[in-house]
Structures are given as C-alpha cells and as structure tokens.
Amino acid sequence: MSTPLIWFVFMNLSILLKPGHCTETGDQVLSITPQTQEQVDILRNVSTHYETVLWQPVSNEYISTQVQAHLYVPANSSVTVKAILQKHGITHKVLLANPNELTKMQMKNDSTDPRSSSTFYERYHTLEEIYDWINRTAQDNPRTVKVILIGSSYEKRPLYVLKLSFNDRPNRKAMWIDCGIHAREWISPAFCMWFVHHSLSFYQQNSEITRILDSMDVYVLPVMNPDGYKYTWTTIKRRWWRKNRSISKSGFCVGVDLNRNFDVDWGIKGSSQNPCEEINCGPFPESEPETQAVANFLRRHKDTVQLYITIHSYSQMLIFPYSYTFDQAENHNDLLEMVQEAAQRIKRYYRNTYTYGPGAAILYPCSGGSDDWAYKLGIKYSFTFELQDRGEYGFLLPPSHISGACNEALLAVKTVAVKVLEKTQAPANDHTI
Ligand code: 0X9
Ligand code: ZN
C-alpha cells in the first residue's frame, strides 16, 4: 500500500470508529466509474488492499477511466471503502444492496414445493445434481447420448462429456461446447444443461436443431471446473471463486485460471504468474488436469470438430479470436458475420443487446484462452459467449432469469452452428458435377 494511502486510512478510521458514528451496512456490490487516472489508481489500491472482490473487470489492471467497475464489498470493509471513495470524490452506485439474499435465492431448490412453477432447467444445480443429471440423460437416451470420461480434475473429480449423436453417417463433423471454466459463473453450466435438454426435446421439431444434429455430433462438457464449482456451492464466502483448486508449489495460494492456462502465447498478456491472483496462468501451459483433458480431447478430434464454443458470464458478448493479439484472424469477416447475425437475432427475438467482435478489441488483450487455442489448433469457428447480464445481478442472476439467458444463448449457438454448416458443407448436388 502506498504511504499516503496508509496515512489516509488511519486518519479516517480514527474518525469513523468514534462512538456514535455508525453507518454500518451489509455486504454490497458497488458500481464505480473512475473519471481520472488518479481515481483509477485509488480504486486499484482499494480492490487490492481491502477485503473486496472485483467482479468486473476480472483483474485490477483492467480498471480504466470511464469504464464501470463492479466491486463486491463485504460488510466489514464497507465503511472504510466508502470513506476512501468519498474522500477522493469517487462516486458509486449500489448495484446490489443485498447479495446474500440473491445468493440464497440461487441455492434454493424449491422442487419439492408444489406451488413452484420453475422446472428443473430453471434452477441452478449442485455438482452432484449435475453428475446425476448427466447419467440420467445418457440412460434415458441410450441410442443418442453417450457419456465420455475425458479426464479428471485436480481433486480427482470426473470430467464428463455428453456426446449427442443422431445418426452414424460416415465423415460426420462435430461441434464442442464447454461450460463452467470459471466457477462463479453459474449460468454457464445451467446453459449446457439447457442446451442438451433442448436438443433432445426439439430434434425433429425445431428445424435448426434438426439440421445441426443431422449433420454434426455435439460434444458437451457441462462443468469443466468441477472443483471450483463445488467450492462456490459449499464454502461460505467463496461464492466468487473463479479458478480451479490446484495448490501452488509454494503451497501459499490456491487456484489457476483455466482460461489462462492454454498453450497460446501463454503467460504474456492479461494473466499473472502469481498463484494468489485471480488470473493466474499456472506454472506452465496445460499445467492443470482440466486444461489437459480438454486439450487432449480436442487434439484427438481436431479433424472432425469444426466449431468450438465456450460459455461464460457476465457481460453479454459474442467474442471470437483473437484475444491474445490485435492481429485479425484469417477468417475474421466470416466470424464477424456469424456473431453479428446472432446478435441481431437476439435483439429481434429477445430485445437484448449483445456486443460482438474479436476479444482483444472488444474486451481485453489476454493470453492462454481456450478460444484462441482451439482456433490455432485448426478449429476455425471458435467463440466465447458471455451470457447475461450486464451487471444488474452479475454472477447472482436469479433463477427466474435462467430461461431468458439460456434461450438467447441457444439462439446464438444455433445461428453460428447453422452458419458453420452453410460454410463447410458441400452443396447437396456436388456429386452430379
Ligand atoms: O477473461 C476471460 O477469461 C473471459 N471473461 S470472463 O469475465 N468470463 O472471465 C473472456 C475470455 C475471452 N477470450 C480470451 N481471453 N481468450
Ligand atoms: Zn468466465
């Protein structure tokens, strides 16, 4: 902490701790938009030195002027943090006045309540429930769904992929969707479940789903980071955990950001070699068993997999390569056209806005991401979808919003998948030429 800041904190703590001065609040999420570089520096200091969690941007190096930052402030640092902000003329809005209530709502399983109108897919599920669902889905659909064990996590939990395969024509192509790279983004595993359920229910009913499943096998990894996901469900005060749960060599800190651990420009931009940081890229590329499992599977299937999609939240963005460089991808125009159409359809059907473009330009430059890695492996249609919302609830998207978030993401997935078919399939009458 810089000396003036220490001095400031002590001065103000002494005032604030005087009897009679009581502005105690509960945990909150604040939205703060720094106006000057000095305010940026103050906010960076606050988020580093006080017990807070930066929801957005993911790391304080990305905090910048005129860009909203979302900061989770627990009750015990609230008075001090707000005093520092006020002292420096930094205004804030309370984004979430009661995150604890929303957390409880997300964990509530009201399936036993006969008055509850939400279905299984409109609720968030524990890891155990998701594993059960994976097995049940395969058992109930023995001809079309297989479970593939692609590896296991650092804490030895299985990494299951569901393979949806609706016919066995030779030379079938495939697409891949993974969810739950980042533990706290609960809407992501919920989407994978939604997608599988929708695909199985609407094959032969929805023309796009039918077309996709007739032409491609679909691999779905519902939870890529099971240890982290479980941790967010079971450990009080760890709902905001992002990384996996591997213990660093020094033993001091836990967790590697799996979306910085892929072997593409590893460890250079937007990532940190410090295991205590949120964007820790690990000790070396593919150091993590979760990354290895996905990378090995995709390497083995790279001749068939044409489309890679990874699901994250939150910010409503449809991102394509590159993130590790500002260079344009070789098929930039195709990728742009695909996400533009997806965003337009979402706007038309659901009245919601998604921004789109290459990651480095529309989000931040960043090495070691799965989308860039898959692209460089040869999967020329590679995307990161950031689902709802844009900060109204952030990671605490209520269960009642799951259907809206998933339906619009589903529309985006269908749009890009159909476009891939159009771009890669030979015309039907090719053989007559
Ligand atoms: O930073 C990330 O890993 C993703 N955003 S998130 O808020 N869900 O953490 C964005 C990933 C975009 N792609 C790459 N950086 N390669
Ligand atoms: Zn993420």
- The 10s digit of each residue's pLDDT in 382-398 is 999 999 999 999 999 99
- The atom of ligand 1 lying closest to the CA of 319 is 12
Among all bound ligands, the one having the nearest atom to the CA of 369 is 1
Q: Mutate which of 58, 60, 187 to test ligand 1's pocket (most atoms within 8 Å of Cβ)?
A: 58
Q: How far apart are CA 351 and CA 345, in angstroms?
A: 9
Could you read off the pLDDT tens digit of each residue along the chain, which spans 433 residues?
Answer: 444 544 444 444 434 443 334 445 799 999 999 999 999 999 999 999 999 999 999 999 999 999 999 999 999 999 999 999 999 999 999 999 999 999 999 999 766 666 667 799 999 999 999 999 999 999 999 999 999 999 999 999 999 999 999 988 877 999 999 999 999 999 999 999 999 999 999 999 999 999 999 999 999 999 999 999 999 999 988 999 999 999 988 888 999 999 999 999 999 999 999 999 999 999 999 999 999 999 999 999 999 999 999 999 999 999 999 999 999 999 999 999 999 999 999 999 999 999 999 999 999 999 999 999 999 999 999 999 999 999 999 999 999 999 999 999 999 999 999 999 999 986 655 444 3
Angle 37-49/75-87 helices, nearest 10 degrees?
Answer: 160
Out of 386, 392, 408, 422, pick the active-site residue: 386
Query: Cα of 167 to ligand 1 centre, how many Å?
Result: 34
- The atom of ligand 1 lying closest to the CA of 372 is 16
Among all bound ligands, the one having the nearest atom to the CA of 70 is 1
Pick the residue whose CA is nearest to atom 3 on ligand 1: 259
93 Cβ partners below 8 Å, 6+ apart?
A: 30, 31, 32
Residue 130: alpha-carbon gap to chain centroid:
17
386 is catalytic: yes
Query: Cα of 311 to ligand 2 centre, how many Å?
Result: 7
Query: Cα of 142 to ligand 1 centre, how many Å?
Result: 35
pLDDT value of residue 109: 78
Q: Mutate which of 242, 312, 339, 388 to test ligand 1's pocket (most atoms within 8 Å of Cβ)?
A: 312
Among all bound ligands, the one having the nearest atom to the CA of 182 is 2
Strand segments (E) across 52-91: 53-56, 69-73
pLDDT digits (tens, 9 = 90+) for 181-240: 999 999 999 999 999 999 999 999 999 999 999 999 999 999 999 999 999 999 988 999
**AA identity, residue 188:** S
Q: How far apart are CA 339 and CA 361, in angstroms?
A: 15
pLDDT value of residue 179: 99
pLDDT value of residue 111: 65
Query: Cα of 425 to ligand 2 centre, how many Å?
Result: 32
Produce one character per residue of 167-179: b if its CB has 16 or more CB atoms within 10 Å, e if not. Answer: eeeeeebbbbbbb
Query: Cα of 177 to ligand 1 centre, how many Å?
Result: 15
Q: How far apart are CA 285 and CA 395, in angstroms?
A: 28
Pick the residue whose CA is nearest to atom 9 on ligand 1: 58
Domains of the chain: 28-97 (3.30.70.340), 120-425 (3.40.630.10)
pLDDT value of residue 1: 40
Query: Cα of 397 to ligand 2 centre, how many Å?
Result: 14
- The atom of ligand 1 lying closest to the CA of 369 is 16
Pocket of ligand 1 (CB under 6 A): 58, 182, 185, 259, 312, 319, 323, 359, 363, 366, 369, 371-372, 384, 386
